[in-house]
Structures are given as C-alpha cells and as structure tokens.
Amino acid sequence: MRLLPEDDRRSGRAVGSPTLAPHLELDGVSFAGSSLLSGPLPDGAERLRDLQSVTDAALSHLDPQALLDALVDRVKDALEADTAAVLLLDREHGQLVATAANGLEEEVRQGVRIPLGRGFAGRVAAERRPVIIDQVDHTNVLNPILLAKGVRSLIGAPLLADGEVIGVLHVGTLSPRRFTSQDADLLQLAADRAALAVQSLTSQLDRASAAALQRSLVPSALPPVNGLQMAARYVPGSGSIGGDWYDVFTLPSGELCAVIGDVAGSGLKAAVIMGRLRSALRAYALETTDPADVLDRLDIKIRHFEPDAMATVLYAVFDHSLDQVRISSAGHLPPIIARQGQPAVVAEVANDILLGVAALKPRQVTTLSFPPGALLCLYTDGLVESRNRPIDDGIARLCAAITAGEPDVACASVMGAMAEDALPADDIALLMLRRQPAGLAEAGRLPDRAGEL
C-alpha cells in the first residue's frame, strides 16, 4: 500500500479540501489554468464537469441512491478504470457499507461491510486522504470480492463532510496500473461532490422522516372523555424535530392516562426512540395502574434495549371520578395546576431520576386533588427553557400565562406568551387537561369531594 508522497498528498488535500471543492469553478477556462489538473489528463475538465453535472442533477432529485449509482459510473469512466464503488459509513456499527458499485455489483448485493480501519476502504477512511495500492493482495485488501474479481490496482478517497468521514469512494483496475496524484485529485474532487450531496440528502431525508414520524405519533385528536376537556400543541424546533411527545389514552378500567415526555437528543434517532417509548408506556399501562411502576418498567426497557437513550417522562393517571390524579415524574418538569378561582401554581410533585439512568431509590407517586374546574398543564422544557434566564423564571411566566378556563384558550394564551421567548431550536409539547366546572358536570358524577393537597 502506498500513501501519496508528501507533495502529492498536499495537492490532493488542496483539491479535496471541503471548503475549496464546493466553490471550485469547473468551467473549461479556469480548469485550463489550474495547475492541479493540467497536464496528464487532457480532458480532465470535461470529465469533472461530467461528475459535477451528475451530483447536481441527483441533488435536485433527492435520491441518494441514484446519485451514487450515476457517480460510480462516471468516476469509473473518467479514470478509465474497471471498477468503482462507494461505501457509506454506518456510524453506529463503525462499518463501511457498500452502497453503489460498477463492475463490483456483488459488493452491494451481498451487503459488504468493512470495519473502519481495516481493509482498503477502512484504511482510506482511517487515513482521511487518498490511498493508492499498486499491487492488490490479501494483505492489503480485506474484501473477498475485490480479490476474486482480480482487481490488481486500487485508488480510494474519503467522503468528508464537516471534517468527518462519511464514506469512501474507490476505483480499481483489472490490469496493474500506477495511479497518479492527478488521479487522486480527480477522485478526491468526485468524493467531495459525493460527500456534499450525500450529507445534504441524508439530512433532508432525516428531517423529513423525523417530521413524518413525529406527526404520526403525536395524537391529532384527543380521546373524548366525559367531564374532561383537553387541548394540546406540538411545535417542532427550527433546527430539527426532537424527541418530545404527549399522549392521552384510557385504560380498560376507564381510567384516563396522560403522558408527556422528552427524549434527549434530536433528529430521526430521538424521534424513533420517542415512538418506541410511547408504545412501550402504553403497553405497561395495561399491566399496572401504579404510575411509578409503569415508569420503572419503561426505565428497565430503555436501559436494556436503548442503552444510549435518556428521557424525562411524566405519567398521570386520573381516577374514575376525576377527583384525583396520581402522578409519577421521571426527571420531568413539574406540572402546573390551576384550580378554579385560584392562580396557577407549580404542583408539588415528587420528582425522581430521569429514565435511562440506574435509580438509587424507588420511584414515587404524588396524588393531587383535581376538583371541578381545575386545569392541569403538562409541558416540555422547550417552552420554559432559555439561555438568558433561570428555568424557574420561565416556569413562573408559564404560571402567569395560564388561566383555569377552556384548555384550547389556555394553550393559545400560553403559546402566545411563551413561544416567542423559547429556544427556537428546541421543540415544544404542551398538554392541557381541564375538569368541567361543577355547574356543568353531567348527571351521575360524584359531587366534589376533593381533599386538601
């Protein structure tokens, strides 16, 4: 295996610099004047224009696979080689996965995976610069397909995005060939185009998928419950979708349950974990009516199946009469309660450690009185957290914005008062539940017998 000599490496770097590549003028004139690509490749400029048109066209079509398929075809032709392949990094497993290939289609069909740092592609990723192998053999190439195919010489370049390796592009020949530094420049330029396109596409797809997932999981309509009105809001952050969620459902016993939670992190991964937690919590809710027990089970589930995840969750179970609500909180922000004729206050709810962390003491349940006309407000940190002031100030402002009235009005009032000041990057979930005032309570409901808290 040979790395490019220092001088070549530097020129390869210059061409491959992520800051340079996107701005390179690829028209014939500026290329004729470029010292990097003049000389041995007479029609280098044309070939590069070709590559560029591929990546630009694919970008507009939002299809990473089509982009990579077209790219390996053009790169193979541009370098007059016999094989070309793109492997993308699966960060979670630390492996490069064959994603597109020409002349090596088996790589993709067989789902070839190369551990980072091993084999040829793994070496390119680890070196983060073009690597050339003049003489392929089993000591420098791991992939049996390359060996079986009879690939004799290889050149590879890393796909870099924001300085991070996201994949590898390599080209091979079936007859021995000494790839030059000009070949390396060309390949690195193609790899840079590919990296930009792949990154842009995956982040767009990631955002779109997360948004779709989030929309499918946050209930659009809350279940009708006699004697209770509900309203909710979910506002995604400007940066990306997060892992906030709320849920309201009834148990077979008729008890009403409300959930609000926040998975640490953002993007598709947080949204996927959120979806799993939401389903798991519903399942555990069917097994036990003790809110602390439900959160304990959810915690065991997270720590076993999602060991990287952490979440704050507040789970509330209203009894049949609605007179009382039992709440267990795993590191979540305290609910706000507004009883009729009184200002909204932070409910005194025992708080335990968030989910995903080994707890040192048993989870607790707090029972709150919930008299007719009372309003319970559950929310996530995006609503009250700010870089400019303590979180308690945000919570105080939230209290001030809540009036014990129609939940929908209360939601609108809160969003109006708080959203402007909230962190634009963080998502916000807000859930309001209000018990009908006594005068409006339907027949058969027990008279108010709420005790003191």
Partner 1 sequence: MTEQGLDVTWSGRHAIVTMPAEIDLINAGSLGDQLSAVVSESPDAVTVDMTATTFCDSAGIRALVRAHEQAAGSGAELRLAVGDSPVRRIIQLTGLDQILPIYHDVRQSLTTPRARPASNQESSM
Rule CB under 8 A: say whether 426 interacts with partner 1.
Answer: yes
Residues from 153 through 172 that contact partner 1 (CB under 8 A) = 162-163
Part of the chain binding partner 1 (CB under 8 A), chosen from 26-34, 188-196, 262-270, 399-407: 262-270
Query: Per DSSP, which regions of 284-363 are E strands?
Result: 311-318, 324-330, 336-338, 345-346, 351-352
Residue closer to partner 1 (CB basis): 39 or 94: 94
Q: Return d(Cα 8, Cα 120) in angstroms, integer.
A: 19
Rule CB under 8 A: say whether 361 interacts with partner 1.
Answer: yes
Residue closer to partner 1 (CB basis): 25 or 348: 348
Q: Return d(Cα 431, Cα 29) in angstroms, integer.
A: 61
Residue closer to partner 1 (CB basis): 116 or 441: 116
Residue closer to partner 1 (CB basis): 63 or 164: 164
Q: What stretch of H or E contains 343? A: none
Rule CB under 8 A: say whether 357 interacts with partner 1.
Answer: yes
CA 324 to chain centre: 37
Q: Are strands 95-102 and 83-90 parallel, antiparallel or unpaired?
A: antiparallel
Rule CB under 8 A: say whether 351 interacts with partner 1.
Answer: yes
Quote the least distance from Cβ 269 to partner 1, whole Å. Answer: 12
Residue closer to partner 1 (CB basis): 11 or 266: 266
Quote the least distance from Cβ 288 to partner 1, whole Å. Answer: 21
Binding residues for partner 1, rule CB under 8 A, total 34
> Which of 29, 221, 360, 443 is close enough to bind partner 1 by CB under 8 A?
360
Rule CB under 8 A: say whether 199 interacts with partner 1.
Answer: no
CA atoms within 13 A on the CB side of 261: 38
Quote the least distance from Cβ 162 to partner 1, whole Å. Answer: 6
On whether the CB atoms of residues 427 and 242 are closer than 8 A, the answer is yes
DSSP-derived secondary structure for 211-278: HHHHHHHS-SSPPPBTTEEEEEEEE--SS--EEEEEEEEE-TTS-EEEEEEEEEEEHHHHHHHHHHHH
On whether the CB atoms of residues 422 and 382 are closer than 8 A, the answer is yes
Residues from 86 through 115 that contact partner 1 (CB under 8 A) = none
Residues 6+ apart with CB under 8 A from 173: 81, 82, 83, 151, 152, 153
On whether the CB atoms of residues 100 and 72 are closer than 8 A, the answer is yes
Rule CB under 8 A: say whether 264 interacts with partner 1.
Answer: yes
Residue closer to partner 1 (CB basis): 70 or 161: 161
Rule CB under 8 A: say whether 192 interacts with partner 1.
Answer: no
Residue closer to partner 1 (CB basis): 55 or 266: 266
Part of the chain binding partner 1 (CB under 8 A), chosen from 30-38, 106-114, 165-173, 350-358: 350-358
Q: Are strands 324-330 and 351-352 parallel, antiparallel or unpaired?
A: parallel
> Which of 69, 293, 306, 385 is close enough to bind partner 1 by CB under 8 A?
385
Rule CB under 8 A: say whether 368 interacts with partner 1.
Answer: no
On whether the CB atoms of residues 65 and 71 are closer than 8 A, the answer is no
Part of the chain binding partner 1 (CB under 8 A), chosen from 2-10, 146-154, 317-325, 357-365: 357-365
> Which of 8, 50, 352, 427 is close enough to bind partner 1 by CB under 8 A?
352
Q: Return d(Cα 83, Cα 98) in angstroms, integer.
A: 13
Question: 178, 158, 185, 186: which is closest to 47 by C-alpha?
Answer: 186
Q: Give me the count of residues in the chain.
A: 453
Q: Return d(Cα 229, Cα 377) in angstroms, integer.
A: 12
Rule CB under 8 A: say whether 353 interacts with partner 1.
Answer: yes
Query: Per DSSP, which regions of 13-163 are E strands?
Result: 83-90, 95-102, 113-115, 131-133, 153-161
Rule CB under 8 A: say whether 336 interacts with partner 1.
Answer: no
Rg (CA), the chain: 29
Rule CB under 8 A: say whether 356 interacts with partner 1.
Answer: yes
Q: What amino acid occupies position 30?
A: S
> Which of 213, 359, 399, 450 is close enough to bind partner 1 by CB under 8 A?
359
Rule CB under 8 A: say whether 296 interacts with partner 1.
Answer: no
Rule CB under 8 A: say whether 333 interacts with partner 1.
Answer: yes
On whether the CB atoms of residues 351 and 312 are closer than 8 A, the answer is no
> Which of 189, 210, 310, 401 is close enough to bind partner 1 by CB under 8 A?
310
Rule CB under 8 A: say whether 346 interacts with partner 1.
Answer: no
Contact set with partner 1 (CB under 8 A): 162-163, 239, 262, 264-266, 303, 310, 312, 330-334, 351-354, 356-361, 381, 385, 387, 389-392, 425-426
